[in-house]
């Protein structure tokens, strides 16, 4: 059950601080070509520290385009974007890369782990790109991150020795190791079965309860029920922005074995 709000207003979650970590004004992306594609129409979006937002929409609606802009992986055609108070448009390519490594953690559908590399070394990777030197004792930090996702007993396993859910938890640990301001996840449960999906959502809920801001792109309405707010795109426009009421508690669903989607006989 959700309460509709107007598409232009913001609906900070109960635990959010009211301090914008993501703030866009007229942010838009057009892919030029023989036929220009308006992948994202001018968008005003505010996401506050501590929010947990699902980004929904049919294929081609602009979700990845938006995530790539918010993730500083791509530059907008027009508009402004403040990430944790920094105007991204004013930055050089290298400064954008630094901002990305300091402020953002990424989780992808396909895990994107290095195949011949142990869990702990996969998690260490982002620290190798951190040029600020703010992370002391990187290996300890990697072990801490893996402990946080419940994989302290799998530090030296390579991805092929881990289940899909465990591989995604390694990827989440890798996204967390820099202590990012925001965790951006594009279809993180797209390759996982139902129970493993709920396990990953339980982890996200724990992390969000600990104060981490999370944005997750998903096709699955069930996944959005674990988030605090849902925004939906269609044809590059924001068509829905709602607070999730009575949101589901993933730990409770796991304990009671509540089926998310009825299983085939
Ligand atoms: N590099 C590109 N060049 C031209 N058009 C693009 C490019 N990337 C995406 N598009 C177009 O922009 C629109 C939005 O694409 P986007 O990848 O953001 O959709 P999406 O919502 O993430 O879809 P999906 O659910 O399939 O991942 C689509 O019409 C797509 O064809
Ligand atoms: Mg996409």
Q: Which residues of the chain carry a pLDDT beneath 70?
A: 1-17, 258-265
Domain-located, residue 167: yes
Closest residue to atom 24 of ligand 1, CA basis = 59
C-alpha–C-alpha distance, residues 227 and 147, integer Å: 23
Q: What is the pLDDT of residue 134?
A: 74
Give per-residue pLDDT as tens, 77-123: 999 999 999 999 889 999 999 899 889 999 988 889 999 999 999 99
Q: Is the CB of 254 under 6 A from ligand 1?
A: no
Domain-located, residue 236: yes
Give me 40's structure tokens: 């994202």
Domain-located, residue 16: no
Q: Which domain CATH number covers 159?
A: 3.40.50.300
Domain-located, residue 1: no
- How many Å lie between the centroid of ligand 2 and the Cα of residue 111? 15
Q: Which domain holds residue 244?
A: 49-73+100-255
Q: Is the CB of 64 under 6 A from ligand 1?
A: yes
- In this structure, the strands spanning 86-87 and 78-83 are antiparallel
Question: Within a 10 A sphere around the Cβ of 131, how many other Cβ atoms?
Answer: 11
Q: Is the CB of 105 under 6 A from ligand 1?
A: no
Q: What is the pLDDT of residue 69?
A: 96
Domain-located, residue 116: yes
Q: Is the CB of 182 under 6 A from ligand 1?
A: no
Q: What is the pLDDT of residue 1?
A: 43
Domain-located, residue 263: no
Q: What is the pLDDT of residue 136?
A: 80
- How many Å lie between the centroid of ligand 2 and the Cα of residue 63? 5
Domain-located, residue 172: yes
Closest residue to atom 10 of ligand 1, CA basis = 39
Give per-residue pLDDT as tens, 154-181: 999 999 999 999 999 999 999 999 889 9
Q: Tell me the whole-structure pTM to 2 decimals.
A: 0.88
Q: What domain count does the chain have?
A: 1
Domain-located, residue 232: yes
Q: What is the pLDDT of residue 135?
A: 75
Nearest ligand to residue 55 Cα = 1
- How many Å lie between the centroid of ligand 2 and the Cα of residue 101? 22
In this prediction, what percent of the chain has a pLDDT beyond 90? 75
- What is the DSSP track for 129-181? T--S----SHHHHHHHHHHHTT-TT-TT--GGGS-HHHHHHHHHHHHHTT--S
């Amino acid at each position: 059950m959700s309460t509709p709000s107007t598409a232009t207003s913001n609906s900070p979650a109960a635990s959010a601080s009211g301090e914008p970590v993501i703030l866009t004004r007229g942010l838009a992306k057009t892919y030029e070509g023989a036929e220009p594609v308006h992948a994202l129409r001018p968008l005003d979006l505010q996401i506050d520290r501590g929010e947990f937002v699902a980004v929904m929409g049919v294929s081609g609606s602009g979700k990845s385009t938006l995530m790539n802009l918010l993730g500083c992986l791509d530059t907008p055609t027009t508009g402004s974007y403040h990430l944790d108070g920094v105007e991204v448009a004013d930055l050089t390519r290298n400064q954008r890369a630094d901002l990305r490594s300091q402020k953002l953690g990424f989780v992808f559908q396909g895990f994107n782990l290095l195949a011949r590399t142990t869990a702990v070394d996969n998690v260490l990777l982002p620290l190798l790109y951190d040029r600020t030197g703010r992370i002391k004792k990187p290996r300890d930090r990697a072990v801490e991150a893996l402990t946080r996702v419940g994989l302290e007993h799998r530090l030296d396993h390579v991805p092929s020795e881990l289940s899909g859910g465990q591989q995604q938890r390694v990827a989440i640990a890798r996204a967390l190791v820099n202590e990012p301001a925001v965790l951006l996840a594009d279809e993180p449960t797209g390759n996982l079965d139902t129970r493993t999906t709920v396990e990953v959502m339980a982890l996200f809920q724990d992390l969000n309860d600990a104060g981490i801001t999370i944005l997750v792109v998903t096709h699955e309405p069930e996944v959005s029920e674990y988030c605090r707010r849902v925004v939906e795109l269609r044809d590059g426009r924001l068509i829905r922005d709602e607070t999730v009421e009575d949101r589901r508690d993933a730990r409770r669903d796991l304990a009671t074995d509540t089926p998310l989607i009825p299983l085939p006989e």
